[in-house]
Amino acid sequence: MTTGSEPTPRLRVRRLRRLMFRVAAVLIGLLPFVVAEGVFTLLDWGQPDYTADPFIGFRNVRPLFVPSDDGARYEIPESRQAFFCPDSFAREKGPDEFRIFCLGGSTVQGRPFAIETSFTTWLELSLQAAEPTRTWDVVNCGGVSYASYRLVPILEEVLRHEPDLVILYTGHNEFLEDRTYSHIKRMPEVVAAPSSLLARTRTYTLLREGFMRLRSQQQHTPDGFPVLRTETDAMLDYRDGLDDYHRDDKWRRDTIDHFGYNLRRMVHLADEADMPIVLVNPVSKLRDCPPFKTQHRDGLTPEELQRWEALIDQATERRKTDLRGSATLLCQALEIDGQHAGLHYLLASHYDMLDKTDQARKHYLLAKETDICPLRILEPMHEALIEIVRETGTPMVDARGSFEKLSRGHIPDGRYLVDHVHPSIEGHKLIAEWLIEDLARQGVIKPVDGWKEVREQSYRDHFESLNDLYFLKGTQQLESLRYWTKGEANGVPGKTPATREHEGDGF
């Protein structure tokens, strides 16, 4: 005899049959999709299409390299040298030549100096010392204020010039240009995860491609699709450019997504060309680097603001005699407004002086993440880079992690960084060293005995060949960079992104 709450064996069998019927119905419904996916895989149809950027477009794309007057070399023309340093390579590649293109922003270029002390030069000298029987040519494609989306056309171009390796160091410049992503619509989170998995299938890719072709016949440019100028038009290049930055969570998320898309796109382009590519995880200065713009959280009431300011005043006064008590008051202010980058930085400096480096690093990072003017790569962008490396097996040189190991409390400071993102000359040498180690691990190079002694002599000879004017210009450039980050560039007063939009390229 069974109780009323327990199903009979016959009822259990009936429920099991209903469940199996539903599972079978779902599997039968999915069968055409599974078969189609298998067929498309066998035929190699439906690979993800990275030929176009769904986020932005350009008015015009010009080649970075043009033939020299004598036709013997490809070189960066004067018309591009407002953003790039002069560099070139032979039109006819030699039989023993190993050609490397290094793509990125001003860090790759060697700012505040130039390519003579960039890691690209130290890398070339190191390679020549490590394997002197080969000809090594490391070409610098570092563009001032160049973000990842501006590097894609350069990668497409250099892949046509017989490279043996591409090195990509990017991530700091994604928020410099004024652009909107109003045409990008975000789906609810509950739909986003399964949609992301579906988007990786070949069936979805083919269906989407057909839909996009049909749509393009009806509408060439989506509403709100940003079309950028030929060269970078950074907001901070204009006087009071810092005023153009405001808290905009959607713009931040879309910019991060665009960065991840561009990285994945460039890795895909290199893979399609059967070209090895190495990604570099960028480093940012945290200690002694305050946020560039702060803003209170939205919705802060006048009473909350008054209480917040009172706590800051009390903490400032107590800091003279009681650093721990001052930090406690700052934590209370943080409970009122946890989105104020300046407060995170102030609290981090307190913990730093108290030798609580774990808490200090946490709040230095939060100061970077909540900075209204993000001139340093954000944590989700680091995560996107590492995820792509893990998914694709792309080699990565972790400059960030390596510099952190050399820094007190794993907090990068002015020891190897001259400002918020640019390494010192010694820092550039270290990046070159880590790249050499990675290439040796990959088997790309097989260093000869005693090569490091030869390298050090080459380093000394090269450094001594640089005159005083080179270092004077670098010092002046560093000072200009500091004004630039404060929104005090020597631009035209009153110029706004809206008025700039209607101007010509100026080139």
**Do 392 and 271 contact (CB within 8 A), yes or no?**
yes
Domain that holds residue 328: 302-369
Q: Which H or E run includes 67?
A: strand 66-67
Look at residues 198, 178, 189 and name the one whose alpha carbon lies nearest to residue 255.
Answer: 178
Radius of gyration in angstroms for the set of CA atoms belonging to the chain, rounded to a whole number: 27
Does the N-terminal peptide bond of residue 112 adopt cis geometry, omega within 30 degrees of 0? Answer: yes
Residue 192 forms part of a structural domain: no
CA 314 from chain center: how many Å?
Answer: 39
Residue 231 forms part of a structural domain: yes
DSSP string across 442-472 = HTS--PPTTHHHHHHHHHHHHHHTS-HHHHH
pLDDT tens sequence for the chain (507 residues): 445 556 677 777 777 778 777 777 777 876 776 777 777 667 666 555 555 677 777 777 899 999 999 999 999 999 999 999 999 999 999 999 999 999 999 999 999 999 999 999 999 999 999 999 999 999 999 999 999 999 999 999 999 999 999 999 999 999 999 887 766 655 454 444 454 455 556 665 556 555 544 544 444 445 566 777 888 899 999 988 999 999 999 999 999 999 999 999 999 999 999 999 999 999 999 999 999 999 999 999 999 999 999 999 999 999 999 999 999 999 999 999 999 999 999 999 999 999 999 999 999 999 999 999 999 999 999 999 999 999 999 999 999 999 999 999 999 999 999 999 999 999 999 999 999 999 999 999 999 999 999 999 999 999 999 999 999 999 999 999 999 998 887 644 444 333 333 333 322
Q: Are residues 319 and 359 in the same domain?
A: yes
Q: Are residues 134 and 106 in the same domain?
A: yes
Look at residues 416, 164, 194 and name the one whose alpha carbon lies nearest to residue 277.
Answer: 164
Look at residues 74, 76, 84 and name the one whose alpha carbon lies nearest to residue 114.
Answer: 84
Q: Are residues 142 and 178 in the same domain?
A: yes
**CATH code for the domain of 394:** 3.40.50.1110
**CATH code for the domain of 310:** 1.25.40.10
**Do 370 and 291 contact (CB within 8 A), yes or no?**
yes
CA 113 from chain center: how many Å?
Answer: 21
- What is the reported pTM? 0.83
Q: Are residues 56 and 175 in the same domain?
A: yes
Query: What number of other Cβ atoms are within 10 A of residue 499's Cβ?
Result: 11
Q: Are residues 320 and 415 in the same domain?
A: no
Q: Are residues 354 and 474 in the same domain?
A: no
Q: Are residues 447 and 497 in the same domain?
A: yes
Q: Are residues 171 and 85 in the same domain?
A: yes
Encoded tokens for 169: 């160091």
Residue 204 forms part of a structural domain: no
Q: Are residues 382 and 365 in the same domain?
A: no
* Count of domains observed in the chain: 2
Q: Which H or E run includes 74?
A: strand 73-75
Q: Are residues 128 and 258 in the same domain?
A: yes
What residue has token string 């008051």? 329
Domain boundary among 315, 336, 369: 369
Exposed/middle/buried for 62, CB within 10 Å: 0-12, 13-18, 19+? middle
Look at residues 197, 48, 224, 405 and name the one whose alpha carbon lies nearest to residue 416.
Answer: 405
Look at residues 364, 312, 378, 367 and name the one whose alpha carbon lies nearest to residue 341.
Answer: 367
**Do 147 and 174 contact (CB within 8 A), yes or no?**
yes
Q: Are residues 426 and 500 in the same domain?
A: yes
Helix axes 341-353, 323-336, angle to 10 degrees: 160
Q: Distance (Å, rounded) from C-alpha 176 to C-alpha 223?
A: 22
Domain boundary among 369, 395, 411: 369
Q: Are residues 314 and 236 in the same domain?
A: no
Amino acid making up residue 424: S
Domain boundary among 314, 334, 369: 369
Q: Distance (Å, rounded) from C-alpha 141 to C-alpha 457?
A: 26
Residue 99 forms part of a structural domain: yes
Look at residues 119, 99, 98 and name the one whose alpha carbon lies nearest to residue 109.
Answer: 119
DSSP annotation of 365? H
